[in-house]
Each structure stands twice: as C-alpha cells, then as structure tokens.
Structure 1
Amino acid sequence: MTTTQHEQTDHYPTRLSTASRPIDRQHPTVWGTAADGPFTAAELEAHEARGFTVLEDVLSGDEVLSYRQELSRLTSDESLRDDERVITEKTSGEVRSIFEVQRFSAAIDALSRDPRVLGRARQLLGSDVYLHQTRVNYMPGFKGAGFYWHSDFETWHSEDGMPLPRAVSCSIALTDNYPFNGGLMVMPGSHRTFVPSVGETPEHNYKSSLKEQEVGVPSQEAVTELAHALGIEQFTGRAGSALWFDSNIMHGSGNNITPFPRSNIFLVFNSVENALVEPFAARGVRPDHIANRDATPLR
C-alpha cells in the first residue's frame, strides 16, 4: 500500500479473493518493560503469552455509580439520537454504542488520561499513546445482541490503515459480568496468529458492520481450529473490573437473553509510532469518530 510519504509494507494481508492460511504474528504484544509502569514483569510475561489481562477493582464503587449515571445521561439525551456516533440495535432500535464518547463526557475524557489507565497503556505499547477509538457499550437485558468472532486489528488494518497490531483495548465493566449475560469471550494466545478474511470491503462498510459484522470475520474452519487448539475463556467479574486485551486477539460475545444488563466503557489506545496510513483493504477511510487519525499523544 502506497502512502503519500512512503511505501508501507503490508505485513498482514487480508480481505483476499481466496482463502489463505493464518499468518504467524511478526511483532511483539508487550513493547515496554516492568520499569515503564504498574504491570510487574510476571504480569507482562503473562499478557504477552495470553494476549489479555483482567484487573479487579480498577474503579471504586462510587466511581462505578458515577459512570453509570453518566451512561444513563447519554442514552437518555434525545439530542444525540440522530448523531452518527450513536449506534442502535439492529432489531430493537435501542442504543447499542456511542462512539467518540469522550467528546460528550468530560468524565470519560478524564478517565482515558487517568494514570491507572494511561500508564498501563503506555507500558504495554512501549511509547506515548493516543485514542484510536472510544465508545460506551450497552447490552440491555433480554435484547442485547452479541458479536461474532473477530479480530479488531483485522478491521483496523484493512479499513483504517493501522500498520501493526501495536494497539490495546481496555474494557471497564460498569455492571457485573456473569457467565450468562453476554460477556466477552476470548481465545487465549490467539493474538499470536493473524487470520486473513475473504471478500472485498464494501463501500461505507462501517454503516452496517457496527451493528452486525459480516465482512472481515474469520471462517468457521479458522474459528474451530483456534478454539480446539487454544480454548475459550470469558471475561467475568464485578463492576469496576477491567479487561486489557491485544488488538489481534480473537474474541466475540453471545446475545444477552437474561434480565441482567451489561455495559462498559471501551478505550482503544494506539502507539503514536503506529499512526494510521491509508487503508490496506478499503477504498476510503472511516470517519474520525470510529478511527481517529490525530496521533497527538494523550497527556
């Protein structure tokens, strides 16, 4: 892929015309060291191997309550209903996600800069970081729809132009995550394998993929192979806990048919040394509220 400045090597080709074997990851998961932040050397080693880390009690009970109130304020704000950053459920029409949420909420903007969060992102990525994407996710009781298995990096690489999987997501739970209310499932160690997808990226694919992703997902054969080799674990824990997971880990979630809702704040940090270039497998870039192209470091 050629950029306006130089030739950018595509290390992870995807959206192919024919099926291709998975690609062994060529780049680290952890770029920093124990001297760079709050994670210990043992925690960093485990994150490198598994591709994710769960931390309990990142937020206090009072903080959780405050952020829940913030989410309630946002979802009940009628002035946001027609905003393109608000994504609704495909069937029920209820709010599913609000993107670029730090623009609507000073509290969430401050959270992205909180040393408890920002320090870990810098440590994992070994550099200054910026927010590639933010959102709040709502999964209401009985109606919350899940997401099929996918790697975020596959989309961010092909549709946004993220060169390497040098990005990490932090999902902070604002409700208790049970094994039965649509919690996120991950395949430990799957971040070490990039799974190319088949099929050309449709124009403006994001308009449908944010509700239900159909392009850029792995084949059932690839999912089966990874699941049998690596197993599946699920993020469960009390409200206030956080899941840090690598951009290339295979993950998904089921529908929530219980009366227990699930909501979270989702922050994606990208290294400033991994700033976006032209998309590797799409004709145009996605909007900035989905893929931030301003790599100014967070302070």
Structure 2
Amino acid sequence: MTDDMYPSRIGGREQIIPRKDPVIYADPATTHGPLNDGQLSFYRENGYLIFPEFMPQLVAPLRAETESLRHKLAGREELVCEPHDNSLRTIFNPCGFSGAYDRFFRHPQVLPIVHQLLGSEVYRMQSRINNKPAFHGRSFAWHSDFETWHVEDGMPRMRALTAWIMLNENHQHNGPLYVIPGSHHLYISCSGKTAEDNYKSSLREQKLGVPRAETMREILQGRDIHAITGKPGTLVIHECNLLHGSPDNISGDPRQVAMCVYNSVHN
C-alpha cells in the first residue's frame, strides 16, 4: 500500500523508520488513572512498566489453570511445541478456554492502567501463556510485536500494548524477557515477504519480522539491553513496538508467563 506509514516485508531492503504515533494516547490534563506522572514519563521514554509482585495471590490459581489447559487442549493447535522437540512452548488463547484467565485480564486493577495508556476502551486481541521448561526452553528472536500485527493481522497504528504476569520467578538464567528501552520510538521495516499461514511456523520459531544483525547494531548504539526479572505475581506492561526477545532457558527453573494483548477500539 502506498499510503502505509509502516511498510514491512515488501521485498525491499531493511530500514529504520521514525515512529509516527504517540506512545501515550490519554490527555493527562483530562484523564485520570492509576499511573502517576513518573510512571507515565518512564513508559513514554522506555516503553514498558514493571509492577513488582502486583497480584501474588493469583499465581497459584493461574498455574493450576495452566496445567488444566494442557490437558483440556491436548491435540489442538492452541498447544504450540518447541521448534526441535515436543515440549510445550505456548498455550494460545487461554482467555478463550479459561474463565480464570478471562477474569484476570479483565481485572479492575489491570484494565484502568491499560485504558490510561491507550486513551480509550480496548478489546482483547489475543492471549497466550509462554512456557520455557527447565534446560529446554528455547529463545525468542528480537522483534517488534507491532511489525507482525501490522503486516499479518492488519493493525494500522501503534495503539496497543501487552500486559503479562509472571507465574514463577523470572531470573537472569531461565530465559527472561529482554527489552531495549527506547526502541519503540523507531520502527524496523523488515525485508522478505510473508508466506501464507506464516503464524503456524512463527509461533514455534520466528524468522520473518526479525531484524538483521546490522540493523540491531545500529539500534543498540547508545541503547542498553535490559532483562525484566521479578518474583511470581509481578505484572509487566510493554508497548506494542518495543523491541524484545529472550534467550534460551539454561537453568533448572522453568519460566512461565501469561500475557494479553489489548488493542484500542479505535485501532
């Protein structure tokens, strides 16, 4: 499309494009919410927020629900395996099969934060549980969620975010999420073209929409990589265009997080 502000995977060379959308959509002069000025400023600048041990009382019920979903969804495509073995990598759409997860991601302590950042009512675009078993959980390559959602799902603008909760401790050795603070101000127009039903393979191992090494070197000039770690029950929110990824789990501790993507009803 010639009027696409964020073209990607159109067969051309890879390039970095400045962001053309706001990071926070609510007007601070007229909108009230749970986030203070410091938190809003941090999110605007860095693209994420961490709420340590936000709702620890829900961890045990959600972990039990996760085990139930493993059995409930056995044999269905919502259970996604690791790229090189049959260990569980992702449970897709837990909110569609679990009342407990549906209620959590509608919780009155979570939704007001989302509304304040996106400046509107929202809908749940997708949900998933990412699972990295001890010693076997594999990496997720650097990527922007928005690039995938824009190219493959038709999301027009950067007015979405992901909220996720740690279901066990996320530490330096069990494959925590890595982010590049500030990278959400740039958009990487990736090379290549998207095959039909690309999601069926990309959920196991993402290859398209992954920036090249030379692009990442340019992005990392003057920027750091930050590992998001925390105790069970920690809530994290990251902006849709923030570059993130995660390494292999080389520890004896599993890593499990449940996440929900919220998109503005105007997007």
User: TM-score, normalised to structure 2's length?
Assistant: 0.96
| Greater mean deviation of Cα atoms: 202-211 or 13-22 | 13-22
Cα drift, residue 36 of structure 1: 2.9
Amino acid paired to 1:11:
M
One of 4, 7, 10 as aligned partner of 1:10: 4
User: Alignment partner of 2:109: what SS?
Assistant: helix
Distance 2:43 2:187 in 1: 17
Cα drift, residue 21 of structure 1: 2.6
Is 1:153–2:153 an aligned residue pair? no
Aligned twin of 2:13: 19
1:211-269 deviations in Å (ceiling 9; x for gaps): 00011111111111112321100100101001110110110000001110000111100
CA contact (8 A) 2:163 2:238 kept: yes
| Greater mean deviation of Cα atoms: 66-75 or 208-217 | 66-75
Is 1:140–2:133 an aligned residue pair? yes
Is 1:254–2:247 an aligned residue pair? yes
Aligned twin of 1:39: 35
User: Alignment partner of 1:47: what SS?
Assistant: helix
Structure 2, unaligned stretches of length 5 or more? none
Aligned twin of 2:203: 210
One of 66, 86, 90 as aligned partner of 1:93: 86
Cα drift, residue 17 of structure 1: 1.9
Identity of aligned residues (%): 39
1:117-132 to 2 correspondences below 5 Å: 117-132=110-125
CA contact (8 A) 1:51 1:246 kept: yes
Cα drift, residue 33 of structure 1: 4.4
Aligned twin of 1:270: 263
Amino acid paired to 1:140:
P
One of 51, 57, 63 as aligned partner of 1:55: 51
One of 176, 181, 191 as aligned partner of 1:183: 176
Is 1:65–2:57 an aligned residue pair? no
Aligned twin of 1:169: 162
Cα drift, residue 92 of structure 1: 2.2
More strand by percentage = 2
Amino acid paired to 1:51:
G
Displacement over 6 Å in runs of 4+: none
| Greater mean deviation of Cα atoms: 19-28 or 190-199 | 19-28
CA RMSD for the aligned pairs? 1.3
Amino acid paired to 2:24:
V
